[in-house]
Amino acid sequence: MNCLTARQLLELARPDEPVADDFEIGAAGEASRHVETCPACQTAVRRQNQFDAKVGAMVRDVPVPADLKGRLLARLHTEAPMPVDAPAEIAGSAATVTTESAASPATFVPAPVPGSPPIRSRSSMRRRSIIAGALTAACLVTGIGAWFLWRPAPSINPNEIAAELVKDDFRPDQIPELTKFANGADVRLPSTMNTRRLDLALPIRRLHALDVAVYFFTVSGRNKTMLEGRLAVIPKRDVDPRYLPLATSYLAGPLPEYKGRYCVTSWVEGEFVYVLCLKGASNELDRLVPPNRGAA
């Protein structure tokens, strides 16, 4: 089981929910065993747990105005109305006392008619409004705090992306399309690479459920051969800082690695990280530099 699948299984798992069948039990166990032996996955799971703990603490510890409780109690004490479910004889006695004390008609509390709905006083409505306002303010504070903590910690490893791209059975029709990244940014080809030589197979694809764009392409090699390639575009903010490439452009000469029959290289350019996988030798990568690079 690879890192991407293991993390997705653990993220969907819920410890308080029953497992549906033996297949889910085996998959969850395999994912747990993978994380135990993978330092990168351990870091990603630990950061996700820390994020969940921060959200939970914020929901439990919502800050409220210091004098809110006192103001609510004072208002309820001074404007406490007659209970709406008081017996008719008690309410009638209260109405008689009010009349005998020459109270104004506005303060007269009539006895409820049997079978009619209870009369809600204006003070009761005000009390409900105050409580509703306090609850609304608390929910608003919680929502704002959760919004700032919602974005998870960067966890994408370009090496893992390359391992997915070089699979022989990895085809465009196996993954969904992608038009924009999650933050609304458009997918951008690298400017320090001669992408005009690439015969791109559109539309752009998404690597599984990750916010990673993938271009499938072919390019002419030596002796009129056609070479297959894949180019991944990853928002830099989503890449684990420990695995950011050292090169800041394709022209910086990143050292290629070999994964199977593919030559792999990666670099950072602006706000994106690029992972290039080209079937063939490393000298084919050198032919993808812009023609105006010069003798340098």
Interval 235-273: pLDDT, tens = 999 999 999 999 999 988 777 888 888 999 999 999 999
**Lowest-pLDDT choice from 209-213, 225-229, 271-275, 278-282:** 278-282
The yes-or-no verdict on residue 105 having pLDDT over 90 is no
Q: Looking at residue 103, what is its pLDDT?
A: 46
- Domain coverage including residue 215: 154-293
Written as six digits, the tokens of 281 are 């030798």
Q: Looking at residue 115, what is its pLDDT?
A: 57
Whole-number Å distance between alpha carbons of 25 and 20: 8
Residue 204 inside a domain? The answer is yes
Average pLDDT, the chain: 76
Residue 73 inside a domain? The answer is no
Per-residue pLDDT reduced to its tens digit, 46-69: 777 777 777 766 666 666 677 777
Residue 76 inside a domain? The answer is no
Whole-number Å distance between alpha carbons of 272 and 227: 25
Residue 25 inside a domain? The answer is no
pLDDT band at 225 (very low <50, low <70, confident <90, very high): confident
Contact (Cβ atoms closer than 8 angstroms) between residue 275 and residue 229: no
Helix residue ranges per DSSP H, 121-232: 122-149, 158-165
Residue 166 inside a domain? The answer is yes
The yes-or-no verdict on residue 216 having pLDDT over 50 is yes
pLDDT band at 293 (very low <50, low <70, confident <90, very high): low
User: Within a 10 A sphere around the Cβ of 260, how many other Cβ atoms?
Assistant: 12
Q: Looking at residue 290, what is its pLDDT?
A: 76
Q: What is the mean pLDDT of residues 85-105?
A: 49
**CATH number of the domain to which 210 belongs:** 3.40.1000
The yes-or-no verdict on residue 148 having pLDDT over 80 is no
Q: Looking at residue 295, what is its pLDDT?
A: 37
User: CA of 46: how far to CAs of 17, 197, 260, in Å?
Assistant: 21, 43, 32
Whole-number Å distance between alpha carbons of 250 and 254: 7
Written as six digits, the tokens of 186 are 């458009």
Residue 148 inside a domain? The answer is no
The yes-or-no verdict on residue 149 having pLDDT over 70 is no
153 or 188: which leads in pLDDT = 188
pLDDT band at 25 (very low <50, low <70, confident <90, very high): low
The yes-or-no verdict on residue 101 having pLDDT over 50 is no
Number of domains present in the structure of the chain: 1
The yes-or-no verdict on residue 120 having pLDDT over 70 is no
268 or 114: which leads in pLDDT = 268
178 contact partners, CB below 8 Å, separation of at least 6: 187, 203, 204, 205, 206, 213, 214
pLDDT band at 134 (very low <50, low <70, confident <90, very high): low
Q: Taking the complete model, does pTM exceed 0.75, yes or no?
A: no
Residue 248 inside a domain? The answer is yes
253 or 295: which leads in pLDDT = 253
Cα dihedral sign, 259-260-263-269: negative
- Main-chain dihedrals φ then ψ at residue 109, nearest 5 degrees: -110, 105
Residue 84 inside a domain? The answer is no
The yes-or-no verdict on residue 189 having pLDDT over 80 is yes
8 or 197: which leads in pLDDT = 197
Contact (Cβ atoms closer than 8 angstroms) between residue 151 and residue 145: no
Contact (Cβ atoms closer than 8 angstroms) between residue 194 and residue 288: yes
293 or 164: which leads in pLDDT = 164
Whole-number Å distance between alpha carbons of 187 and 167: 23
Q: What is the mean pLDDT of residues 18-43?
A: 72
158 or 140: which leads in pLDDT = 158
Whole-number Å distance between alpha carbons of 59 and 145: 9
Q: Please state the separation of Cα 40 from the chain's center in Å.
A: 19
